[in-house]
């Protein structure tokens, strides 16, 4: 429900309800056969605008209950609150700062998994004693508003710091389940810190040629020492775009660093350079529109293994590939 403005404030209050039956059957099932998941949430958001600035805040309370057929019901109550302040200079440069404290209840898989997860080639082991995951976050942002003229059309920079208490993750125990012969990955909780930066710059040389530069980096470490597993490595990229009267296309290159902070029991991944390209030709067939396209991925045929994947050691991304096709809309 959206309320009428009061003293310059505008916002809404709402309720979210969920009642879900979920389960798995068969030899490959690793969660209970039947579980009823119920959650009810109440939220409130408000914001107030001035000429060149505005503030906003939000509040949410949620109750979650998971009732599996093979164990007792587990309930959690989570509360989250956030606030942000934004201001602009001459309607061109926009700065923002936001802070939040949020709680997340563990999921069905995190609580009750107990079996071979064939898709991940792991034996997943949940923990019914998992507590709420509590995150305290600070975000600082800068954005140069899109400009209609000039070389720099858009610039975005964001820096974040997240302190997460009782962070839920899967630890590689190094132990093997004798029946499935898969390594056991157990859900555990530890306090961690995530910090990182992401940036994007869009340049327009003229109406036909453009360039997008982007990059991001994140560090994730346990308070007691050691690296959080399956975290993305640093990336830098550039995408050159061209738009002509009869066709348009792009050439994108991404330089991904080695991930040598893989975490205990995890393998590091090598860096790689990925080059992708595409050409598109718009079509007009009577009153219908269409698109003729040609795309090539991983043109350099690099061996790409993602540090975030459970299967990085056995299933790298596909090598060089070409795709051509026609898309029609009618």
Predicted local distance difference test score (pLDDT) of residue 210: 96
Q: Provide the pLDDT confidence category of residue 91 given band limits of 50, 70 and 90.
A: confident
pLDDT digits (tens, 9 = 90+) for 106-115: 999 999 999 9
| 192 pLDDT more than 80 | yes
Predicted local distance difference test score (pLDDT) of residue 25: 87
When divided into structural domains, the chain yields a total of 1
Residue that wins the pLDDT comparison between 71 and 38: 38
Residue 43: inside a domain: no
Residue 271: inside a domain: yes
| Phi, psi dihedral angles at 118 (to 5 degrees) | -65, -40
Q: What is the mean pLDDT of residues 24-46?
A: 93
Structural contact between residues 131 and 165, judged by C-beta atoms closer than 8 angstroms: no
CA distance 102 to 57: 13
| 79 pLDDT more than 90 | yes
Average pLDDT, the chain: 95
Q: What is the mean pLDDT of residues 22-33?
A: 88
Residue that wins the pLDDT comparison between 146 and 80: 80
Residue 293: inside a domain: yes
pLDDT digits (tens, 9 = 90+) for 273-320: 999 999 999 998 888 999 999 999 999 999 999 999 999 999 999 999
Residue 253: inside a domain: yes
Residue 244: inside a domain: yes
Residue 5: inside a domain: no
Q: Provide the pLDDT confidence category of residue 212 given band limits of 50, 70 and 90.
A: very high
Residue 302: inside a domain: yes
The residue segments making up the domain with residue 282 are 240-330
Residue 279: inside a domain: yes
| DSSP track, 279-290 | EEEEEEETTEEE
| 223 pLDDT more than 80 | yes
| 147 pLDDT more than 80 | no
Structural contact between residues 136 and 101, judged by C-beta atoms closer than 8 angstroms: yes
């Amino acid at each position: 429900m959206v309320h009428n403005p009061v003293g310059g404030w505008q916002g809404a209050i709402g309720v979210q309800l969920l009642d879900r039956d979920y389960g798995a059957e068969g030899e490959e099932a690793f969660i209970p056969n039947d579980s009823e998941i119920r959650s009810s949430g109440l939220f409130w958001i408000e914001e107030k605008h001035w000429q060149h600035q505005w503030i906003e805040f939000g509040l949410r309370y949620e109750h979650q209950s998971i009732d599996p057929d093979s164990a007792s019901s587990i309930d959690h109550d989570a509360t989250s609150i956030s606030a942000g302040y934004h201001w602009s200079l001459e309607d061109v440069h926009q700065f923002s700062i936001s802070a939040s404290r949020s709680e997340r209840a563990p999921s069905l898989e995190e609580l009750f998994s107990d079996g071979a997860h064939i898709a991940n080639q792991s034996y997943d082991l949940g923990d019914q004693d998992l507590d709420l995951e509590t995150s305290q976050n600070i975000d600082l942002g800068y954005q140069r508003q899109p400009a209609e003229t000039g070389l720099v059309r858009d610039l975005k920079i964001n820096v974040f710091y997240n302190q997460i208490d009782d962070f839920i993750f899967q630890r590689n125990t190094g132990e093997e389940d004798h029946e499935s012969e898969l390594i056991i990955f157990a859900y555990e909780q530890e306090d961690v810190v995530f910090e990182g930066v992401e940036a994007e710059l869009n340049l327009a040389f003229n109406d036909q040629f453009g360039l997008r530069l982007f990059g991001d980096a994140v560090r994730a470490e346990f308070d007691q020492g050691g690296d959080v597993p399956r975290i993305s490595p640093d990336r830098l990229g550039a995408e050159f775009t061209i738009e002509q009267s009869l066709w348009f296309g792009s050439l994108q290159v991404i330089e991904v660093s080695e991930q040598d902070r893989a975490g205990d029991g995890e393998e590091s991944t090598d860096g790689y350079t990925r080059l992708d390209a595409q050409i598109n030709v718009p079509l007009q067939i009577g009153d219908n529109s269409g698109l003729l396209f040609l795309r090539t991925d991983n043109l350099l045929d690099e061996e790409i293994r993602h540090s975030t994947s459970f299967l990085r050691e056995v299933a790298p991304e596909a090598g060089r590939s070409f795709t051509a096709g026609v898309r029609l809309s009618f």
